[in-house]
Amino acid sequence: MTPQLEKVYFNYILKNKKYFDIVKPYFFRNLEIQFVYNVIQKYMLKKSDVKVPTPRQILDMVSLEDKEGAITKDILKSILKDNLKEYSEKDFIEPKFNTWILANRLKTGAVDIIDETRNLENITDFDKAIEAADKMRNIVDEMTSTKFIQDDDMGLDFDEPEQHVQDSSKYKINCGFSTINHMLGGGWDIQTLNVLMAETSNGKCSHFNSKICIKNKTTGIIDTCKIGDLFTIIKKQTN
């Protein structure tokens, strides 16, 4: 990764502020770009409707944070130089930018999983082991997902273009199956009816008397019950 390409990515994010939620400062190897981006990102994430600061505002923001004066005006001018028109957005910037994001997310996920494995030797309870496995599975699902942005999400304010892209993770429910979660970009969509379809004898349905295990999140107790009795149990617990 060259500093020039990182400058392209930096300015591409300034033009597409939706990526401030996804791109972390440590994705940038160039320390000067990393510092400037970190300052801007903290400002951008304070409010959902904040506008990208102007070059003059960025200079003032960086000057306040840069106590040692490492980021000079010339360095900042070089970083903010908008040379996106020199590249094809569709054929060059987007594919390389998305590859860069995914590669960094994968590296982050690998480090997080290694950190989790260090605690496994101290786990002797089966439920704790399941929780650790679920946590690692969620890390893998999140970091390997290629759906960084839900471009088809029109958001909460139709008349405001910048609000058309929303954080899809806020509107997803973990369905309990990592493969399905991965395919759907995080799980079921809130307030939707989901229908699973497949050919005959492919595991869509279970018999009334089929037994399943359910866990009480409050007490941690795991019980076995028939599928036909499940809704009765849920109803009793909610009343």
- pLDDT tens per residue across span 93-124: 999 999 999 999 999 989 989 888 888 888 88
Residue 14 CB coordination number (10 Å):
20
Taking a C-beta distance cutoff of 8 angstroms, is the pair 71, 62 a contact?
A: yes
* Single pTM value for the model: 0.60
Average pLDDT (28-57) is 93
Residue range 117-144, pLDDT digits in tens: 888 888 888 888 888 888 888 888 888 8
pLDDT of 237 reads 66
Confidence of residue 161 (pLDDT cuts 50, 70, 90): low
Average pLDDT (211-233) is 78
pLDDT of 159 reads 55
Taking a C-beta distance cutoff of 8 angstroms, is the pair 83, 7 a contact?
A: yes
80 pLDDT above the threshold of 90: yes
Taking a C-beta distance cutoff of 8 angstroms, is the pair 21, 167 a contact?
A: yes
169 pLDDT above the threshold of 70: no
Is pLDDT larger for residue 160 or for residue 84? 84
Confidence of residue 149 (pLDDT cuts 50, 70, 90): low
220 pLDDT above the threshold of 60: yes
Taking a C-beta distance cutoff of 8 angstroms, is the pair 23, 36 a contact?
A: no
pLDDT of 57 reads 95
For 114, half-sphere exposure in the C-beta direction (CA atoms, 13 angstrom radius) is 6
> Structure tokens of 90?
């569709």
Question: Which amino acid, 192?
Answer: T
